[in-house]
Structure 1
Amino acid sequence: MKLSIQLHLAVLSISDTVSFLEVFGVDRVRSTVHNWVHKAELQPESGRSPNHVAADETVIQLDDEQYWQYAAVDPSSNDLLHTKLETTRTNVIADQFFAEIREKHDVDDAIFLVGGAVPLHRACEKHGLDFRYERHGNRNSVERIFRSIKRRTTISQTVSATPKQKLLTSG
C-alpha cells in the first residue's frame, strides 16, 4: 500500500502503478490502488493563513502526454498549500485553482507572488487577490517544488520502462 502511494506521488498513473506492483507479484486492481491513494489524503492540510503565497503552473511531460501542474506554496515555510494536476491550461482551471486555495486557506489578505502566466494574473484579479509578478526571490519556493516533481516524473518514466528501454537509456 505504501509503495503504491509513493509511486503515485512520483506522478505515475494508477494504471502504471498497478503494472509496477505486478513486477513484485502484487496483484491489485486499479480501484483498490485508487482508494489507497485517496485515503492517504495527499492534499496539504487546510486552514493556513500565510502572508505571501508563491503560485505558478508548469507543464509536465509523461511519455507523449502533457499535464499542467498548478501549485501554491507558503514561501516563509516552503509548505505546499495546494496543488492541482490538469490535462489542459485554461483561464477556467486557473480560476478554479484560486477558488480552491481560498476555500482551504485564509489567503484573502496574502500577497500572491506569480510568474508571467496570464491565466494566473486573471484569476487573481477575478478573486480580488493582491498579486505581483515576481521572477525570483520568494517565488523560488514554488520553483523548487516543480523541479522536484519533474525530477520524480523523469525517474518514474525510467522505472516504468521495459527492461529493453532501460538498457537503451542507461548507456
Structure 2
Amino acid sequence: MFKNARLNGCLDEIELGFMEREATPKLLMKLGIQLHLAGLSLSNTVSILEIFGVERARSTVHNWVHKADLQPESNWSPDHVAVDETVIQLNDEQYWLYAAVDPETNELLHTTLEPATNKVIAHEFFAELREKHDVDGAVFLIDGSHSLKDACRRHSLDCRYEKHGNRNSVERIFREIKRRTTSFSNCFSNAEADTADDWLRSFAFAWNQRI
C-alpha cells in the first residue's frame, strides 16, 4: 500500500452519479473504491465494508472502480516530464504501459496501455499528452528508447537522456503498478485490455491524491 496513502480529499473527488440505483451508501462506495486503489485487494476491501454492515461481492467493488471513470487531472505545466515504457502482463499476453510523470511532484500525467511498442504508438502517446497538459516548454527525460526519442523529435520537444536521477520517479511508479498487478491477481485476471487501461487511469488518479 502507498506509504502515505490518504483518504481525505480523495473521497470528495470521486463522483458517483452513475450509481443512482445502487443500494450501498455512497460514502461506503467511495471508501471501497479508494481502499482498493490505495493498495487493498478486492477481498480485503470487501472485508472492510463488512465491518460497516455492507456485504458486497468482489466483482461489485471492481465494477464501482471502473464505472467511476476516474482520471488524473489535466492542464498541468511541468518543467520536466519523465517518460518511460514497460511490459505489463495481462492474462497470457504482454502489453506495453506508457507513462509520463512530473518528477518534481511524482504525479502521473498520462498513461496508456498498448499491445506493442513502436514509433507510431509513441508518437500518439506524446500527442495525447500534449492535448492534456501544457508540456511544450518542458524538458523530457527519457532513457535509451529510440521510439520515445523519435517521438520527442517529431513533436519538437526538448528531450534529455537520463538513466537515473529524476527518472527514478517513473521507475518507482512502475514498480508499484507491477506489485499491484502481480500480487492481486483479481485486478487483471481475465480482464480485457480496455478494462486494464481503465484501471490504470484510476490508479493514476489515486496515486496523485497521495501527494
Structure 2 stretches lacking a partner, 5+ long:
1-28, 47-54, 190-211
Query: Counterparts of 1:159 and 1:105 in 2: how far apart (Å)?
Result: 28
**Equivalent residue number for residue 37 of structure 1:** 66
1:63–1:157 contact (8 Å) kept in structure 2: no
Q: What secondary structure, in the 3-state scheme, does the structure 1 residue paired with 2:184 have?
A: helix
Which of 20, 26, 42 is residue 57 of structure 2 equivalent to?
Answer: 26
* Pick aligned residue for 1:149 from 177, 189, 193: 177
The structural deviation recorded for 1:116 is 1.1
Q: 1:75 to 1:157 in 2, by over 3 A?
A: same
- Closer, same or farther in 2 for the Cα pair 1:28/1:46, shift >3 Å? same
Q: Which residue of 2 aligns with 1:164?
A: none
- Report 1:155-170 matches (<5 A): 155-157=183-185
* CA contact 1:71–1:80 (8 Å) conserved in 2: yes
Q: Which amino acid aligns with 1:56?
A: D
Distance 2:92 2:76 in 1: 37
- Distance in 1, Cα, partners of 2:77 & 2:86: 24
CA RMSD for the aligned pairs? 3.1
- Which residue of the partner structure matches residue 60 of structure 1? 88
TM-aligned CA distance change 1:53 to 1:154, over 3 Å: same
Bigger fraction of residues in strand? 1
Deviations for 1:24-83, whole angstroms, at most 9, x for unmatched residues? 763969xx93x8525332x31001000000000000123421110010000011111111
| Structure 2 residue aligned with 1:81 | 109
> What residue is the counterpart of 1:93 in the other structure?
121
Unaligned runs of 5+ in 1: 162-171
What CA distance in whole angstroms lies between the structure 2 residues aligned with 1:160 and 1:98? 26
> What is the identity, as a one-letter code, of the residue corresponding to 1:26?
A
TM-score under structure 2 length normalisation: 0.60
Runs of 4+ residues over 4 Å off in structure 1? 1-10, 158-161
In the alignment, is the contact (CA less than 8 A) between 2:142 and 2:149 conserved in 1?
yes
Q: Counterpart in 2 of 1:110?
A: 138
**Given that residues 96 and 114 in structure 2 are in contact (C-alpha distance below 8 angstroms), is that contact kept between their aligned partners in structure 1?**
yes
The structure-2 alpha-carbon separation of the partners of 1:92 and 1:64, relative to structure 1 and needing over 3 Å to count, comes to same
Distance in structure 2 (CA, Å) of the matches to 1:60 and 1:133 = 24
Structure 1 counterpart of 2:166:
138
In the alignment, does 2:100 pair up with 1:72?
Answer: yes
